[in-house]
Chains A and B, each alone.
Chain A
Amino acid sequence: MFSFCSDPSVLDGWRWFACYLTNGKHLTAYLSFGTVMALLAITAPTALLFGFGGAVAARSSFGPLRWFGKGYTSIVRGVPDIVFFLFFVIALDQGFEWLRHQALCPDWTDPIRQGNDFIVCPEAKLPQSSAPQWVHELYGFFLAVLTFAIVFGAFASNVLFGAMAAVPQAQLETAAAYGMTPRQTFRRILVPQMWVYALPGLSNLWMILVKATPLLFLLGVEDIVYWARELGGTKGSVFAYPHPDWRIWYFTALLVFYLGLTSVSERVLARLQRRLSHGQATAAGESQRREVVA
């Protein structure tokens, strides 16, 4: 990075650290913070979408759809989420390969499960064995995002289902009295009003999602936990920058990062709650109105 970094063995003090912290591996590691942020940025809306779908399904008057929605909501009850994380990644991978196998190799006669092996035809492999490394990494990341979205979608579905039930019945009855169809009532009355009831639950969910991101490491993505172990250990940089076991310092940095992330989130969500409560017929909205009047 810097001009004086050509021979690390003669450096000392801050120059050594300046070079050490900007070597190639560290720059890659800094990018992995981006991986975490990308995961959050993609997963949160996707999970919200899944949750919305689940909540609407659970409210449906059509039996099978309602059972599906309720079932989806309750898959997360009583079972540790990490079990789902480990399960879904491998199950989704096999599911995709099986679907492609059915589509691409119709005349393949061997069974897919042979004893302890799962064998699909070479064309159905995901990603293709000839694909470059970044495709493999991207596919792994995609599986992780989908897994997070499915699990957190179930959480979100439960929150949104509760929020929809919390919208005062009188609002919906008034809408019906004005001649709105159920579809119109849903779009114009129910959905705009439910957010204020959903926000505490969704805030809580966001905090859990933030704190679940290190689990990416278990799903095989090279995230910040992976790099903290890799860079802090003595093996990773034994040639250019020998140092003792510094993993504890790397994990301290991660702790600080997560504490910062959660406290920023807390502040933003508190402001959002204030904004959403404005003008609502709730205790928070009423106290805001009084403040203005007083």
Chain B
Amino acid sequence: MSCWDTLMDYGLRSIGIGERLLPRSDFTLCQQVVLIGSGTIWNIYFAIVALLLGFFLATALALGKASPNAFLRKPSEWFIYLFRGSPLFIQFFFAYELFVQLPRNGIDINLGFVELTAQTRWLTKAWAGATIVLFLNTSAYAAEIFYGALRAIPKGDLEAADAYGFTGWAKFRRITWPTMLRLAWPAYTNEAIFLTHATTLVFFSGFPAWQQRGDALYYANYFADKTFNPFVPYPIVAVYFILISLFIIWGFGRVNQHLNRHMPGQKRRTKMRVPLMR
């Protein structure tokens, strides 16, 4: 079987397209590279969805935490504390058990004039349940970053906005928000990379891999268990993740350039260090 056939059979295995049976013996390097690569589709999916949705919730939470109104501030503070203070691993387990507890037949919601049945089964599947956990988790971390940036906005900028008659939404949209993003962006890049790395936890904690459709690490672990040789599959995962990280750094760097385009002395590429921790 040539490598091309393997690619055809297993290239989309992780999303249920192609050959159903995983290879059981005589593993080739090609099979490992293709299947693990197929698994990274999940990692990319989790990362993109969680980051896109999380960005908006994080902005809202950061504004809430910075709000003088205690009814907005306290819930935001507690949300951020809860998700930053506990391990993501435990959050996954907890969420899975929570979703399993939901009634099997869905929840009936009576709106008086019409009765709706909210389906809950899909929450126990990784594509939805794990995405929700990752979304909430990254929102909390990003909110803390945005909150710090919000407090670091130079007061001169805000005073100048006032002097020019900016108020309310226009002031937020034109002055506060872009400055906040500009200041937060390097740290937010780190968060994006960390979230991508955290997606590897999904199929190890709680959410079971359905029909062996797992992520990169799931297949790497499968090969390492079968061949008792960790020196091939794990480096393959590592290479995939380094590539994804480089892509994130590149993409976020472009955005960073855009955010800083008006700043003097920012013509050259801003030096972006690969993060080590969040």
Chain A interface (Cβ within 8 Å of chain B)?
Answer: 76-83, 86-87, 90-91, 94, 113, 116-118, 155, 158-159, 204-205, 208, 210-215, 217-218, 225, 228-229, 232, 245, 247-248, 251-252, 254-255, 258-259, 262-263
Chain A residues positioned under 8 Å from B204 (CB to CB):
82, 218
- Using known A-B contacts A80-B200, A116-B228, determine if residue A204 contacts B277 with beta carbons closer than 8 Å: yes
Q: Are B86 and A262 in contact (CB under 8 A)?
A: yes
- Using known A-B contacts A78-B242, A116-B227, A211-B88, determine if residue A83 contacts B237 with beta carbons closer than 8 Å: yes
Q: Are A258 and B87 in contact (CB under 8 A)?
A: yes
- Using known A-B contacts A86-B217, A87-B234, A116-B228, determine if residue A214 contacts B90 with beta carbons closer than 8 Å: yes
Q: Which A residue sits closest to B94, measured CB to CB?
A: A251
Chain B interface (Cβ within 8 Å of chain A)?
Answer: 25, 27, 81-82, 84-91, 93-94, 97-98, 100-101, 193, 197-198, 200-201, 204, 217, 220-221, 224, 226-231, 234, 237-238, 241-242, 245-246, 274, 276-278
Listed residue (A76, A82, A117, A225) with the most chain B CB atoms within 10 angstroms of its CB: A82
- Using known A-B contacts A251-B90, A258-B87, determine if residue A78 contacts B274 with beta carbons closer than 8 Å: yes
User: Helix, strand, loop or mixed for chain A's interface?
Assistant: helix
- Using known A-B contacts A78-B246, A79-B241, A83-B220, determine if residue A116 contacts B87 with beta carbons closer than 8 Å: no
How distant is A164 from chain B, measured CB to nearest CB, in Å?
16
Q: Are A259 and B86 in contact (CB under 8 A)?
A: yes
| A229–B193 CA distance with the chains assembled, in angstroms | 30
Q: Are B276 and A77 in contact (CB under 8 A)?
A: yes
Q: Which A residue sits closest to B88, measured CB to CB?
A: A211
Beyond the given A77-B242, A159-B276, A248-B94, please list 7 additional residue pairs across the A-B interface where CB-CB is below 8 A.
A83-B238, A116-B27, A211-B89, A225-B90, A245-B97, A262-B85, A262-B86
Q: Are B230 and A87 in contact (CB under 8 A)?
A: yes
- Using known A-B contacts A82-B200, A248-B101, determine if residue A118 contacts B228 with beta carbons closer than 8 Å: yes
How distant is A258 from chain B, measured CB to nearest CB, in Å?
5
Q: Are B229 and A118 in contact (CB under 8 A)?
A: yes
- Using known A-B contacts A158-B276, A248-B98, determine if residue A79 contacts B87 with beta carbons closer than 8 Å: no
Chain B residues positioned under 8 Å from A158 (CB to CB):
276
A–B pairs, 24, beta carbons within 8 Å: A77-B245, A78-B193, A78-B238, A80-B217, A81-B197, A83-B241, A86-B217, A86-B220, A87-B234, A91-B230, A113-B229, A155-B277, A212-B87, A225-B89, A225-B90, A245-B97, A245-B100, A247-B97, A251-B97, A258-B87, A259-B81, A262-B84, A262-B86, A263-B85
For B224, give its contact among A76, A90, A258 (CB under 8 Å).
Answer: A90
Chain B residues positioned under 8 Å from A252 (CB to CB):
94
Q: Are A83 and B90 in contact (CB under 8 A)?
A: no
Q: Number of A-B pairs whose CB atoms are under 8 Å?
A: 122
How distant is B236 from chain A, measured CB to nearest CB, in Å?
10
Q: Which B residue sits closest to A208, measured CB to CB?
A: B277
Q: Which B residue sits closest to A204, measured CB to CB?
A: B277
Chain A residues positioned under 8 Å from B198 (CB to CB):
80
Q: Are B217 and A82 in contact (CB under 8 A)?
A: yes
Chain B residues positioned under 8 Å from A94 (CB to CB):
230
| A77–B245 CA distance with the chains assembled, in angstroms | 9
- Using known A-B contacts A116-B25, A204-B277, A263-B85, determine if residue A251 contacts B93 with beta carbons closer than 8 Å: yes
| A211–B141 CA distance with the chains assembled, in angstroms | 14
How distant is A188 from chain B, measured CB to nearest CB, in Å?
29
Chain A residues positioned under 8 Å from B227 (CB to CB):
116
| A211–B205 CA distance with the chains assembled, in angstroms | 14
Chain B residues positioned under 8 Å from A255 (CB to CB):
86, 90-91, 94
Chain B residues positioned under 8 Å from A211 (CB to CB):
86-89
Q: Which A residue sits closest to B234, measured CB to CB?
A: A87
Chain A residues positioned under 8 Å from B101 (CB to CB):
245, 248
Give 7 nearest A-B pairs by CB, closest first. Answer: A80-B197, A248-B97, A78-B242, A87-B234, A211-B87, A78-B245, A214-B89
How distant is B165 from chain A, measured CB to nearest CB, in Å?
36
- Using known A-B contacts A213-B87, A214-B90, determine if residue A83 contacts B234 with beta carbons closer than 8 Å: yes
Chain A residues positioned under 8 Å from B197 (CB to CB):
79-82
| A82–B229 CA distance with the chains assembled, in angstroms | 17
How distant is B43 from chain A, measured CB to nearest CB, in Å?
9
Q: Are A214 and B224 in contact (CB under 8 A)?
A: no
Q: Are B93 and A225 in contact (CB under 8 A)?
A: yes
Q: Which A residue sits closest to B194, measured CB to CB?
A: A80
Chain B residues positioned under 8 Å from A118 (CB to CB):
228-229
Chain A residues positioned under 8 Å from B86 (CB to CB):
211, 255, 258-259, 262
How distant is A163 from chain B, measured CB to nearest CB, in Å?
13
| A105–B88 CA distance with the chains assembled, in angstroms | 45
Chain B residues positioned under 8 Å from A80 (CB to CB):
197-198, 200, 217, 237, 241
